Every structure is written in C-alpha cells, then in structure tokens.
C-alpha cells in the first residue's frame, strides 16, 4: 500500500503576536449590556452629578505657547530713557536739517506734537531775535536793565534752537529727546518772568501730546525694534 499524503487544507491566517485582536475587531460593548466585561472587584461607580476636581496649576505658571495678558492701555510707568546720546554726532539730526518738514511714519498725536514744536520754536526764535535787537538799542542808551534782557533773550534763543534739534530727534524715535523737550518747557517758564519768550502754552500742549499712550507706545516700539 502506498503512503498517500493527505490533501493540504487551506492555510490558516497567522495570529498576531501578543493575543491582539485582528483588524476589524469591534470594541467591547459598554457595561450593562450583554457581553460587557464585569468591573474589577471593589470598583464603585461615581454618583450622579459627579464632577472631576480641577487640575492643580502653580501660581504664575503659563502653559507652553501661552502669552501673558497685555498690560492695560492706560497703565503709565515712567522710565529713564536708555538711548542717551554718547557723542555730539548722536545729538544732531540724521541727515541734518533737510528733513525737518518730513513727518512720514509718525503716529497722529506725535505728528501734531512735532508740528507744534516747530511752530513754537519758529515763533520763539523770531521774538528772541527782536528781543536781542531791542536790548542792544537800550544798551546803547545806557539802560541798566537792558543787559539782563539781552542775556535772557540769548539763552532763550539757544533753547529754541535746541527745541528744533530735540524735536527732530523725537521724530527719529529717541526717548531722551522727549525728556529734554519736557525739561525745556520748564526752563522756558522760568525765563518768562525775566523778559524772554519761552515755549508758552503751545509748548505745554506739545509736551502733553508726546506723553500720551499712543506716542509712548510708538517710542517704545522704536526702542525695542531698533532703528
């Protein structure tokens, strides 16, 4: 009798390792339905209306990628300028006085402040030149008070020239120029009783405009972003 090999049956699919269910295996039915797995011993279901406690978060912790809330718009904090000039070249306007009437890129309030500064300086220079000429005439007549008026007009004229320079540096985004202009308003108010024409009311208005939040935010962005 010859040994006949049995006819090979169909190949059985290979079972995945680790007793993992094959693809398409359905998830087990939820508890309470036929075929559902029993809960482990000692398990107690939460009562109706149970809410999980909130996760603990350390004070001051910020999640990755989360930015802190911006400060209020009206929050004002005075800081000394960090861009103080270190040489005379940094005091003078870039490109000289050729761009004195250019205001492109300035915010609206700072643009108005800059124009007021120019008008104030122009009026101050005109009045102080007239004051110097009048003082020279009175000096020729031997008036004793003419010398004091001549000196005060000369100082006030120098202040007006400095106003023009600082106003142009303010237009470039220099915070030290804003502080210097504010100081010049105080100096001009002191010179007025001595007979010199200072910045007057226009200078006060221009100084207020350049310290408003819109102007301060622009100057700060120029300091942070670089020039």
pLDDT along the chain (227 residues), means of 10: 50 52 52 57 69 58 52 56 85 89 92 95 89 82 74 85 94 94 85 66 92 93 69
0.75 surpassed by pTM: no
Phi/psi zone of residue 152: left (φ > 0), alpha (ψ -120 to 50 degrees), beta?
Answer: alpha
- For residue range 174-185, list pLDDT tens digits in order: 999 999 999 988
The b-or-e profile of 135-165 (16+ CB within 10 A means b, else e) is beeeeeeeeeebeebbebbebbbebbebbbb
Place of tokens 């303010």: 170
- For residue range 57-104, list pLDDT tens digits in order: 555 555 555 554 544 544 556 677 788 888 888 899 988 888 899 998
Radius of gyration of the chain (CA): 40
Q: How far is CA 139 from CA 4, 30, 107, 131, 195, in A?
A: 144, 109, 47, 12, 15
């Amino acid at each position: 009798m010859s040994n006949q090999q049995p006819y090979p049956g169909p190949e059985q699919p290979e079972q995945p390792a680790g007793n993992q269910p094959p693809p398409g295996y359905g998830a087990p039915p939820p508890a309470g339905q036929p075929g559902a797995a029993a809960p482990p011993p000692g398990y107690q279901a939460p009562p109706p209306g149970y809410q999980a406690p909130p996760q603990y978060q350390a004070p001051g912790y910020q999640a990755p990628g989360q930015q802190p809330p911006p400060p209020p718009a009206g929050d004002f904090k005075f800081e000394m300028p960090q861009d103080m000039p270190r040489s005379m070249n940094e005091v003078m306007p870039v490109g000289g006085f050729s761009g004195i009437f250019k205001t492109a890129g300035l915010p609206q309030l700072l643009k108005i402040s800059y124009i007021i500064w120019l008008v104030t300086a122009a009026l101050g220079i005109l009045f102080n030149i007239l004051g110097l000429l009048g003082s020279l005439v009175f000096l020729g007549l031997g008036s004793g008070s003419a010398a004091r008026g001549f000196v005060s007009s000369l100082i006030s004229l120098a202040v007006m020239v400095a106003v023009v320079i600082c106003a142009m540096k303010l237009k470039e985004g220099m915070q030290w120029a804003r502080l210097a202009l504010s100081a010049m308003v105080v100096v001009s108010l002191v010179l007025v009783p001595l007979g010199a024409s200072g910045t007057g009311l226009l200078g006060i208005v221009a100084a207020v405009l350049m310290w408003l939040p819109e102007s301060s935010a622009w100057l700060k962005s120029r300091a942070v972003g670089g020039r």
